[in-house]
Structure 1
Amino acid sequence: MTETLPIRALEDFLADPVEPADFPQLILRHWNARWAEETGLGGFSPEAQAEHFGHFVPLEGNLPQPLALRYHGHQFGVYNPDLGDGRGFLFAQVRDRAGRLLDLGTKGSGQTPWSRQGDGRLTLKGGVREVLAANYLEALGVNTSKPFCLIETGEQLWRNDEPSPTRSAVLTRLSHSHIRFGSFQRLAYFEDKAAMARLVDYCVAQFYPEADDPEIGRKACNLLEAATRNTGRMLGQWMAAGFVHGVMNTDNFNITGETFDFGPWRFLPVSDPNFTAAYFDQNGLYRFGRQPVQGAWSLQQLASALLLLADADDLAGALAPYQEAYRASFVDHTHALLGISPTGEAEADTAFLQSFYAWMTESEARWPQVFHDWFGGAASEARALAGPLADLYAADAFAPVKADILARDPVRPERANAGIFQRPDAPSLLIDEVESLWAPIAEADDWSAYEAKLADIDALRLARWG
């Protein structure tokens, strides 16, 4: 049965079989029951969960051995040919109820040929941060990988950027694809035209069947256009959600346009185009306001790799939809997060966003609070005007923004009555909150605040999207 797994057709040039680390202890800290059911993996006992996602015993009929994927990438604008899965691997491929192919990939599962003297491990704090961030992004309607399983592994790790020794973990994430822009860049680097054609065939067959074409150059352009649209949509969602990825290297973009490879991510406390998530991003290359530009630049690097198969002018044409895909996503997702309908008139909707975000920046209103207060538009007016930001909403500067919000129809206004929206303070995930959630875990192995936050995030997801 393993021969039927799509990834096996690429194994000879895309990946290296590896052995998982042997961990001294396995303590389940997170299990995504909803997505386990969605992918047919919901029937595991706690013992089986530990066996498969701690010892990485192969799933029945799946990969017989994990695969560490090979890729290159631009890291802070500098090309690096010495990359690959250094502390993770592809463990299995599954399908959801809709028949879509999904990858189960790991983080912290041990050393591989690409570890570059690293220990191949993940800190427990890093795993907790990713579980929180990905769940919160999903609750905000952002296309993202899903944290599937987090297991504490009983080792002590030393890190330069956090108190050490610190606890260790292994994370398994669910994503439609772990094929990165850097996967294509590697094949272009080696001028491996045959392998590039096979990779394009795989991505079209599994993720974008509408992009199929008998001529490989046209198929490569169609794939690029599909990836361009999805990446533009993802960037629009990031900007509406106030999400700062932090490390937008080309090896951290995947071909299906999903948020993944969480590192020094942040959510904005207030609107600030110059907000930078990573302390080591001293020049602000990946600052919040520059993210859409960096998304476009990364797609240009993907297009450059595909020159191995297609004409430059045709590839340039495939990149053309990016700006409109980004703009439409930013408009639509801002309205969706406010629970109101766009007018459908591009000029009017764009003008609303310009005035809304200009007010957000000038007023320094708390980002998550504003979207919380005005979810449902007119359906939440009384609640917003009695909430923590009432003084800001009463100021003259907000009047035109308020008029625009109230002029738009609520989408399912009954959702504004959900319990999570009746609280005065917004559910949020700012860095101080993350630190406050981690402190009792580190000091007393007390997971109650973390579990309460996950429950709030899930309640927000259900209230917003049903």
Structure 2
Amino acid sequence: MKKLDQVSLSHHFADLGDAFGTPVPPSPFERPDFIHANPAVMQQLGIDPAEAANPAWAEYGCGKRLFHGSRPFAMKYTGHQFGVYNPDLGDGRALLLGELERDGTRWELHLKGAGKTPYSRFGDGRAVLRSTIREYLGGEALYGLGIPTTRALCIVGSDEPVVREKIETGAMLIRVAETHIRFGHFEYLFYTKQLEALHRLVEFTCARFLPELEGQPAAEQAEALLRFTTRRSASLVAGWQAAGFAHGVLNTDNMSIIGDTFDYGPYGFLDDYEPNFICNHSDHTGRYAFEQQPGVVLWNLNALAHAFSAFVGADTLRDCLEEFQPLLIDEYAARMRTKLGLQQVEDGDQHLCAELLQLLEQAQADYTLFFRALAHYRGERPPASLQEIVPVAQHAALEQWLNHYDQRLTHEQSDSRTRNRTMLAANPKYILRNYLAQKVIEAAEAHDFRPLQTLFGLLQAPFDEHPEHESWAAAPPPSGKHMPISCSS
């Protein structure tokens, strides 16, 4: 395990050349404040977790001091935003610091909020404390739920004023991912007709994640990469839908080529089950509503496939994309069966699940609380814990569904205690509700970081009971629902 001053980075992506971005030094805070470091990510990177208390994080976490070998690099990409191609995108407030290898896996460190770059357009290149905390917590929330995601190594704050809807204070985090390559990287090189560089990027990505394709022709590599990304993306969105997570801004520049949850902005977890839940207050048409996510991800994969048309024929591209829907359905069905405690696969399971979701929608019942209560259900009548979540007007519908569920459980070979244990490990007690994130943010803005530490710990173990923190598992008050969230960029 390394000390902070022993960390050394390489820069394989930056070595690809000028077509892929621009070297840019960070603009550090004059008076950085160390807020939090993530011991689990430190362990993942081979950094001694005891270093979590090292005050040097304040300088490393804002670019005032660089890790050995770091060569900060602003990545260039483009993408479709709300369905419209935008050629003027790129790392406008973030820098790729470099890569760190640990146990055969290469991890990239990316400093967000590091100041202006050639791709900042009219932006100031900064991030604010509010959005930085949301990303820091968001990565841990999905990681704790077993959903692929980027994570963050540390947060650093400052007293530097940053103007958004109001004047806030600047902050930075170091994001950690196996790669920061987005769909938009391939789109940029395709639309600007830099086909040799596009080929190099395909080769580079395959060397990292599909090494068995080394030396194969461009067409074979591009096809395999598209199939790989299609599979990963289908699995990812199935996880979101089962967990009740809405990303909020699924532009192609926010889509990871390896299927990680990427670029946390105006995201939100469902409170009441609302299929048309919109968490981004800029999404006036509902393009990125919760129930629209599978279709939008497929739309984005089509945009990526178009970039690969430089190497791969249209029929093959269509064949690749046709894998998405069956993969999504199978993965989502498997996740929902686990949430319902079903080990066997039966034809009626999809109808049983759809019937439950219709009940939850009509009852405006809390999605997470209902499934957590169902994980304790053993056929009791009346089902008091479930009736507490479903309004009286829907109790008859609840009873009808439970009768169907009870009948289905007779086909299972597990006993109720075993089933309950399995369901408790699949249905979280704690999720990152927006009202909880706001509670943490308001405390942090008052320089109280204890709520951040508490919620951070709960999200790392969301299936455990944590009886001393019951209030963090409660449904939001009415004022805590439908909170307007912006991406703050």
User: TM-score w.r.t. structure 1 length?
Assistant: 0.88
SS in 2 for 1:297: helix
Asked if residue 105 in structure 1 is aligned to residue 113 in structure 2, the reply is: no
1:418 deviates by: 8.1
SS in 1 for 2:13: helix
SS, match of residue 83 in structure 1: coil
2:87 is equivalent to residue 81 of structure 1:
yes
Partner Cα separation in structure 2 for residue 131 and residue 412 of structure 1:
34
Q: Which moved more, 1:266-275 or 1:38-47?
A: 38-47
Residues 18 and 382 of structure 1, relative CA distance in 2, 3 Å threshold:
farther
Q: Tell me which residue corresponds to 1:399.
A: 402
Name the residue aligned to 1:126.
131
Residues 189 and 197, structure 2, Cα contact 8 Å, conserved in 1: yes
> Runs of 5+ in structure 2 lacking a partner?
1-6, 467-489
Residues 377 and 406 in structure 1, CA contact (< 8 A), matched pair in contact too: no
Q: Does 1:71 align with 2:77?
A: yes
Is 1:431 aligned to residue 434 of structure 2?
yes
SS at match of 2:17: helix
CA apart distance, 1:382: 9.4
Deviations 1:34-63 (A, max 9, x none): 111111123646133233222253323x43
Is the CA contact 2:148–2:236 (under 8 Å) kept in the aligned structure 1?
A: yes
- Separation in 2 of the partners of 1:203 and 1:382? 56
In structure 2, which of residues 301, 304, 307 is the aligned counterpart of residue 305 of structure 1?
A: 307
The reply to whether residue 156 of structure 1 matches residue 161 of structure 2 is: yes
Are residues 1:357 and 2:362 paired?
no
| CA separation of 1:216 and 1:438: change in aligned 2, threshold 3 A | same
Partner of 1:275: 277
8 Å CA contact 2:79, 2:87 repeated in 1: yes
Deviation for aligned residue 1:279: 1.1
Q: Shift of residue 400 of structure 1? A: 4.1
Cα offset, 1:153, TM superposition: 2.4
Shift, 1:376, TM fit: 6.6
Partner of 1:440: 443
Deviation at 1:210, TM superposition (A): 4.6
- When residues 214 and 418 of structure 1 are mapped into structure 2, their CA distance, relative to the original with a 3 A threshold, is closer
Q: Please tell me whether the aligned partners of residues 373 and 385 of structure 2 are also in contact (alpha carbons under 8 angstroms).
A: no
CA apart distance, 1:92: 1.9
Once the two structures are TM-superposed, the CA of residue 303 in structure 1 deviates from its matched residue by: 0.3
Equivalent position SS for 2:265: coil
Matched-pair contact (CA < 8 Å) for 2:109–2:177: yes
Are 1:420 and 1:460, in contact at CA under 8 Å, matched by a contact in 2?
no
Q: Distance in 2 between matches of 1:136 and 1:199?
A: 31
Q: Which amino acid aligns with 1:358?
A: Q
The answer on whether the counterparts of 1:159 and 1:165 sit within 8 Å (CA) in structure 2 is: yes
Q: How does 1:9-408 map to 2 (within 5 A)?
A: 9-42=15-48, 44=51, 46-55=54-63, 57-60=65-68, 62-63=69-70, 65-97=71-103, 99-160=104-165, 164-210=166-212, 214-338=216-340, 340-345=341-346, 347-375=347-375, 378=378, 385-386=384-385, 388-389=388-389, 395-400=398-403, 402-403=405-406, 406-407=409-410, 408=412
Does structure 1 retain, via aligned residues, the 8 Å contact 2:355–2:401? no
Judge conservation of contact 1:376–1:413 (CA < 8 Å) in 2.
no
Taking every aligned residue pair, what percent have the same amino acid on both sides? 29
Q: Is the 8 A contact 2:9 2:100 kept in 1?
A: no
For residues 254-278 of structure 1, what are the alpha-carbon distances to aligned partners after superposition, in whole Å with 9 as ceiling and x for unaligned? Answer: 1000111111111111221211111
Q: State the TM-score, normalizing by the size of structure 2.
A: 0.84
Against the structure 1 CA distance between its residues 249 and 418, is the aligned structure 2 distance closer, same or farther, given a 3 Å change threshold? closer
Query: In the aligned structure 1, how far is the partner of 2:45 from the partner of 2:417?
Result: 30
Q: What amino acid does structure 2 have at the position aligned with 1:215? A: P
The question of whether the paired residues in 2 share the 8 Å contact of 1:111 and 1:118 is answered with yes
